[in-house]
Structure 1
Amino acid sequence: MVQRKIIITIQVLISFIFSAFAQHTALQVIDTADLKEHLSFIASDELQGRRMGTEAEGLNKAADYLAENAARLGLTPGAPDYFQKVDLLATKKDETNFVEVVDAKGKSKFKAHSMVELRGPDAPKSITNMPAILVGFGEQLPDKDFDGKLVLLAQGTEKSFTNKLFHWNNRMENERLEAIKSKNPEVVLLVTDPDDKTNKIYQQLSRWYGRTRYQLASENTKEEIPVILVLPEVADQLLGGKRKYKKYLQNLVDGEQESLMEVQKRSLNLKIGKKSEVLDAKNVVAVLEGADPELKKECVVLMSHYDHLGLDENGEVYNGADDNGSGTVTIMEMAEAYANLKEKPKRSIVFLWVTGEELGMLGSNYYTQHPIVPLEKTVACFNLDMVGRVFEERDTVWNKSPKRVKDFDGIFALTNDAWPELAKINQKYCEQLDLIPDTTLPAQFLSTSDHYHFHKHSIPIVNYATGYHADYHRISDKVERINFEKMKRVAELCFLVSLEVANRDDIDIHKPEQ
């Protein structure tokens, strides 16, 4: 019996030695020259900042590059040609929308395209001959509802009107709008201050709400009461003449006017809604199949987003070398290390490059809705987002952030509590590689990158990052500032931790929430 135990011990030791040797060989594949070569293309001007809609279609070029590399490594496509189509919808302002004042006979008295939809339908909608009621600053609302009527609400308060404070208080405005909407109007027109000669508030909100909005096409947007910001001239024309709206507000402030006023003889026509376009968006997905007949049905996901910000208003390129070219090519290099393993891991490895992180983490959201391996079989997700920088004195601009970029030995390692053992495994390999993990990031960082969509399904996650630096989301985030030795260390750490997870037998898989 003793002899048998000795033999088993020797066999386990030999297996461990060969496994360690295989890991060491695979680690040698992770090379700074390769990282630099890949990043020099991914973060080049040629790709115009890897954002959808640029003339060069740089995001598609990046996707092609990732897919070609996966094919070269012999990885299995996780979707046709490695591309998981993401149904992405872009909605933007429709310049043909209008607000029109008509008389009792339906004759047009005034028509304007100057309007900002703060809330409302994406699909075009036309409204004709709708009766209107003014409610002043919304301080005295009737007990009855506004069924079938359009309500005009003055932007701001009596105080801001009196003191000429042209300021947008988002919380206050939303509270007033919710009170109005509880009375069930058909539409709310929020009218700017008649003394705001430069249209400060209108211009400000036009910039905020005039931007293109992106969402998954499958996401249902709830029907809600439209809220439209308009200029005072609309209210003037409803009341029958120039400056009558200001007179109404002044009389209200002076106590000479009831706030509620039903408009007589004139009504409103509106065309609202947005223009929508389905975009050619895609995740890139490649798979290394596991070696164990049963465990290969489970997977470990290695993920990064490969999109960035595109061009600035002057046509300068946001190269995004660190954000997130660094994570993108680090996953590429890890894929090569995995492909060179003599003994493949027990579980399958899914290499996932997601799109649309900068637009709202849309690619990772889509993947978790359409995973190539069921989420209940996904044992962990490793997300690499900005892993290529080392602290410089200029980075002290982030001194007030808990995520200021680390020195050469530091790394942020954010985990959730879905499987506490994962943090222990990470700590072990950090010690082996002389890295110092920072695990103190506030819980809010669980929702600030693509790992969020795995975290919300109770899947164990690790988010590796080197931190925020002075070039974050600036055109100065270029390849020349990347520390490739640091990237190599991050790749080695992630490879070793993910490999152990892929080979562990004692993982309690959490089923996703329903």
Structure 2
Amino acid sequence: MRSFAVSRTVAASLCLAASLPLPAASAGAQSIDAVAARISAQSLRGHLSFLASDLLEGRGTPSRGQDLAAEYIAAQFRRAGLEPAGDDGYFQTSERQYAERDMTRFSFTVQAGGRAVPIPAGAVDLRLRDALALQDVPVVSMLWAEAMADAARADGKLLVLAMPADRRAAYADLGKFKGKPALLVLVDAGKQSGSGVNGWLVEEDGATPAGGMQRMLTVYGADAAAALGAPGASASVTVPAPGTRTVRLRNVAGVLRGSDPVLKNTYVMLTAHYDHLGIRNGDIYNGANDDGSGTVSVIEIAAALAADSKRPRRSMVFMTFFGEELGLVGSRHYGKHPLFPFKDTVADINLEQIGRTDDNEGTRLRTANLTGFDYSTVPAALQRAGKRFGVTLWKHKENSDRYFAHSDNQSLADAGVPAHTLSVAYAFPDYHGKDDDWQKVDYDNMARIDRTVAAGLLRIANDRTAPKWTDAPNAAKYREAAKKLKVEK
């Protein structure tokens, strides 16, 4: 793992580059320079050292730590002078039902080789919503490929599969699985305990979330794996019904009003998610890079733009979402209940994982990726801005398209708004790990990326021609959604 401290030589180069006069004489260029000068690595460090501290307990959805984070973000928007844009000041509220179980009533016993092997609740992650009661159900162990090809063999039984190394591909397979076992059990013998998570947000309409199997759980530990793999094994499982309680969740939103008499009624958005994984088995998952880095960048860029005496032509909306880690819940809520009409929203730049430069594929300095790179003209505006600050915006050959639908830009794109997610690292060593801490972030690089984003936002906000979707094949559904928005105007 590389050191996260920037070398003296690199640091000196960054400082020198930031201090050099930039080749532009227009009022717009002068405004970009002034905004960029207000974006500070030290300020970003200050924000993130709080938001990713243990005090906020990983900002899980829902949690006291997430509520503290929401209040902090709102206070920074207030300090910057943004107008509140929510239904409750700076907050867009969503009252939801949160379901959880009394796990003292959970039991899982395997009968194998003439003995009973109990599997404790701490060694299980539940992936089912309803109560379950199975008594002496035969256990069938199958290879992954075999189960995908011959699912019916385990119908009505407890089907055991070893968890493959590629979990993302595995869950994609399970989403298409046609078998009807009494219960599907994934086994991970390499770990000894589950996540400790016992709760989920109920969908707004009360429906069970779509995608994947619902009668499924994951079991951890070599002893459990051996018992479930024994010939002639059977199992009894009791999963209690969940209870529900009402929780109040909040997106945080502020607006910087534009100056043009007409264009001020159109909007450019900068977004990020401020939640993370919370506490799991006693460990705090602080989520400094995912996505504390995006959150503090929204705060810093908003303050830098709001402090400028020259307002952009279009209005700018700054927003942080709850519940991304639970399935883009906060941004999906915004997609159903927009604070600003989608027909008047010209673009969204969503920030995700922009603080760490130690991408699993190699070091990423002065570069950033965009999902859906070819889908709209937004990336071109950011590329032009990047040249000013020595930042290269590029398309990752595989991940640019693959991850377009896996972050908070998706809800806006579905509505027809050109929306992309910008990141420095798609994957890094502590991704969704307990050691994603604020001390590991490269703040000088993040400040440079943020200056690029701020300049790109200004370009879009001051351009009388709004961004548009391109003719890229994968952008077809978004082009169609945009056509419907034009009809609404």
1:300 and 2:308 aligned:
no
Aligned to 1:445: 403
Structure 1 counterpart of 2:78, from 66, 71, 93: 71
In the TM superposition, 1:233-248 aligns within 5 A as: none
CA distance in 2: counterparts of 1:295 and 1:422, whole angstroms: 18
Q: Secondary structure at the residue paired with 1:372?
A: coil
Aligned to 1:153: 156
Larger radius of gyration: 1
Q: Secondary structure at the residue paired with 1:327?
A: helix
Q: Which amino acid aligns with 1:24?
A: D
Aligned to 1:505: 464
Q: Secondary structure at the residue paired with 2:271?
A: strand
Runs of 5+ consecutive residues of structure 1 not aligned to the other structure: 1-14, 100-113, 138-150, 157-164, 181-187, 193-198, 230-245, 250-269
1:214 and 2:196 aligned:
no
1:458 and 2:416 aligned:
yes
The answer (yes or no) to whether the contact 2:163–2:187 under 8 Å persists in 1 is no
Structure 2 counterpart of 1:49, from 45, 58, 66: 58
Aligned to 1:10: none
The answer (yes or no) to whether the contact 2:155–2:182 under 8 Å persists in 1 is yes
Q: 1:471 to 1:18 in 2, by over 3 A?
A: same
Residue 287 of structure 1, CA deviation:
0.6
Q: 1:93 to 1:22 in 2, by over 3 A?
A: same
Q: 1:174 to 1:484 in 2, by over 3 A?
A: closer
Q: How big is the alpha-carbon RMSD for the aligned residues of Structure 1 and Structure 2?
A: 4.6
1:363 and 2:330 aligned:
yes
Q: 1:248 to 1:322 in 2, by over 3 A?
A: closer
Aligned to 1:236: none
CA distance in 2: counterparts of 1:175 and 1:388, whole angstroms: 33
Q: Which amino acid aligns with 1:437?
A: L
Aligned to 1:313: 281
The one-character-per-residue Cα deviations of 1:269-292 (angstroms, maximum 9, x if unpaired) are x99743223322111000111112
Q: 1:441 to 1:311 in 2, by over 3 A?
A: farther
Q: Secondary structure at the residue paired with 2:421?
A: strand
Residue 485 of structure 1, CA deviation:
0.9
In the TM superposition, 1:121-136 aligns within 5 A as: none
Aligned to 1:277: 245
Aligned to 1:3: none
Q: Secondary structure at the residue paired with 1:351?
A: strand
Q: Which amino acid aligns with 1:214?
A: L
Q: 1:228 to 1:75 in 2, by over 3 A?
A: closer
CA distance in 2: counterparts of 1:305 and 1:68, whole angstroms: 17
Residue 166 of structure 1, CA deviation:
7.2
Residue 211 of structure 1, CA deviation:
4.0
Q: Secondary structure at the residue paired with 2:93?
A: strand
Aligned to 2:307: 340
Aligned to 1:62: 69
CA distance in 2: counterparts of 1:309 and 1:175, whole angstroms: 23
CA distance in 2: counterparts of 1:279 and 1:63, whole angstroms: 14
Q: Which amino acid aligns with 2:95?
A: D
Runs of 5+ consecutive residues of structure 2 not aligned to the other structure: 1-23, 108-119, 141-153, 165-169, 218-230, 469-478
CA distance in 2: counterparts of 1:191 and 1:338, whole angstroms: 52
Q: Which amino acid aligns with 1:73?
A: A
Q: Which amino acid aligns with 1:218?
A: D
1:87 and 2:95 aligned:
yes
Q: Which amino acid aligns with 2:404?
A: L
Q: Which amino acid aligns with 2:277?
A: L
Q: Which amino acid aligns with 1:352?
A: M
CA distance in 2: counterparts of 1:312 and 1:225, whole angstroms: 23
Q: Secondary structure at the residue paired with 2:452?
A: helix
Residue 469 of structure 1, CA deviation:
2.2
Q: Secondary structure at the residue paired with 1:496?
A: helix
Aligned to 2:39: 30
Q: How many residues align?
A: 405
The answer (yes or no) to whether the contact 1:189–1:228 under 8 Å persists in 2 is no
Aligned to 1:291: 259
Q: 1:334 to 1:136 in 2, by over 3 A?
A: closer
Q: Secondary structure at the residue paired with 2:72?
A: helix
Residue 85 of structure 1, CA deviation:
0.8
Q: 1:166 to 1:307 in 2, by over 3 A?
A: closer
Residue 322 of structure 1, CA deviation:
1.5
Residue 176 of structure 1, CA deviation:
12
- Aligned identity (percent) is 27
Q: 1:380 to 1:179 in 2, by over 3 A?
A: same
Aligned to 2:293: 326
Q: Which amino acid aligns with 2:345?
A: T
Residue 474 of structure 1, CA deviation:
2.3
CA distance in 2: counterparts of 1:360 and 1:323, whole angstroms: 14
The one-character-per-residue Cα deviations of 1:75-113 (angstroms, maximum 9, x if unpaired) are 1101122011123333234659899xxxxxxxxxxxxxx
The answer (yes or no) to whether the contact 2:348–2:412 under 8 Å persists in 1 is yes
CA distance in 2: counterparts of 1:248 and 1:281, whole angstroms: 44
CA distance in 1: counterparts of 2:289 and 2:209, whole angstroms: 37
Q: Secondary structure at the residue paired with 1:311?
A: strand
CA distance in 2: counterparts of 1:466 and 1:191, whole angstroms: 37
TM superposition score normalised by structure 2: 0.69
CA distance in 1: counterparts of 2:270 and 2:99, whole angstroms: 31
Structure 1 counterpart of 2:371, from 414, 418, 433: 414
CA distance in 2: counterparts of 1:328 and 1:120, whole angstroms: 32
The answer (yes or no) to whether the contact 2:47–2:296 under 8 Å persists in 1 is yes
| More displaced 10-residue stretch of structure 1: 479-488 or 15-24 | 15-24
The answer (yes or no) to whether the contact 1:288–1:349 under 8 Å persists in 2 is yes
